[in-house]
Structure 1
Amino acid sequence: MKLAIGCDEAACDLKNAIKTHLLAQGHDVTDFGTHDNAPVLYPDVAFEVAQRVAAGDFPRALLLCGTGIGMAICANKVPGIRAAQCHDTYSAERASRSNDAQIITLGARVVGPELAKAIVDTWLKSSFDGGRSQPKVDLINAFESGRPALA
């Protein structure tokens, strides 16, 4: 699968571990940095990656920072993006199956490399079920498009 990945300095080591793991599985991974531990503004990375996913350049992406929170907040500001912060495999599966999340975010200060790999693998093996979740995702999309949500 063609994937984008990006991080801030707090998660550079974790990003590299996940990237190596994904490449070994045969995924095509484009790395949007950062590439060292020098401080960066994580919104710059999150916005660029999320915009590329929204444009259709990548079907899915991973964003990493210290907690995963900041990256999720930023990515969700990009129209058309559903980013989910995941710290366990169940959340990763549900992010895909129930919420059709194209991006997951991880926190390097919250999960270790082996758990992070398991989270990513679970997310990539899962796909959106539609079904009972479809109207919910449709409502999110409608609200984002400026159509009022129904009570």
Structure 2
Amino acid sequence: MRIAIAADHNGFALKARLISWLTAHGHTVDDRGSHTDDTVDYPPLCVDVCRRVADGAADRGIVLGGSGLGETIACNKIRGIRAGLCHDLWSTRISRGNNDSNVLVLAAKVLAPEAAEEIVGAWLSTPFNGGVHARRLEQISALER
């Protein structure tokens, strides 16, 4: 799978670890920044990853921040993006299975690296359930229009 990934200064170290994990699991990773741990604003990073997902240059995106809250808001401003902030496996499976999220947001100040890897693995392997959830996603898409 082609995955675009970005992190602000809070998520920089965890991003590096996840890139190694993703690559080791056979994914193609497009590191969109930040490339240092210097303080940086997250909205441009979110837009970059989300536009790559929305235009098909990436199959999915991962964005890391301190809490992940601002990143989730920024990502969901981009048409066609369904970004989910996931702190555990339950929310991860709901994010993918019910909401067909195409961008995963992780809170680097909350998650242990091992938990982040487990969440990423579950997010990548959980299929969309369709059915009643597809109808709801269409209603969300209508909001964007």
Tell me whether 1:23 sits opposite 2:45 in the alignment. Answer: no
In 2, the alpha carbon distance for the partners of 1:143 and 1:75 equals 15
In 2, the alpha carbon distance for the partners of 1:140 and 1:21 equals 32
Using the TM superposition, give the Cα deviation of residue 27 of structure 1 relative to its aligned residue in structure 2, in angstroms: 0.5
Deviation string, structure 1 residues 4-50 (Cα, Å, up to 9, x no partner): 10000011001111111011111100000111111111001001111
Using the TM superposition, give the Cα deviation of residue 132 of structure 1 relative to its aligned residue in structure 2, in angstroms: 1.6
DSSP 3-state at the match of 2:110: coil
DSSP 3-state at the match of 2:62: strand
Which runs of no fewer than 5 residues in structure 2 stay unpaired?
Answer: none
Scaled by the length of structure 1, the TM-score of the pair is 0.94
Using the TM superposition, give the Cα deviation of residue 69 of structure 1 relative to its aligned residue in structure 2, in angstroms: 0.9
Deviation string, structure 1 residues 66-94 (Cα, Å, up to 9, x no partner): 01111111100001110000000111111
Give the residue type in structure 1 aligned to 2:78. Answer: V
Using the TM superposition, give the Cα deviation of residue 59 of structure 1 relative to its aligned residue in structure 2, in angstroms: 1.4
Residue 14 of structure 1 is matched in structure 2 by 14
In 2, the alpha carbon distance for the partners of 1:29 and 1:56 equals 14
Residue 110 of structure 2 is matched in structure 1 by 110
In 1, the alpha carbon distance for the partners of 2:35 and 2:48 equals 15
Using the TM superposition, give the Cα deviation of residue 127 of structure 1 relative to its aligned residue in structure 2, in angstroms: 1.5
Using the TM superposition, give the Cα deviation of residue 134 of structure 1 relative to its aligned residue in structure 2, in angstroms: 1.1
Give the residue type in structure 2 aligned to 1:29. Answer: V
Residue 5 of structure 2 is matched in structure 1 by 5
| Residues 2-151 of structure 1: pairs in structure 2 closer than 5 A | 2-145=2-145
In 1, the alpha carbon distance for the partners of 2:9 and 2:62 equals 15
In 1, the alpha carbon distance for the partners of 2:39 and 2:140 equals 34
The sequence identity of aligned pairs, in percent, is: 39
Deviation string, structure 1 residues 91-125 (Cα, Å, up to 9, x no partner): 11111110010001001101010000000000000
In 2, the alpha carbon distance for the partners of 1:5 and 1:127 equals 20
DSSP 3-state at the match of 2:84: strand
CA RMSD in angstroms comes to 0.7
DSSP 3-state at the match of 2:61: strand
Task: Name segments (4+ residues, structure 1) moved above 3 Å.
Answer: none
Give the residue type in structure 1 aligned to 2:7. Answer: C
Give the residue type in structure 1 aligned to 2:13. Answer: D
Which runs of no fewer than 5 residues in structure 1 stay unpaired?
Answer: 146-151
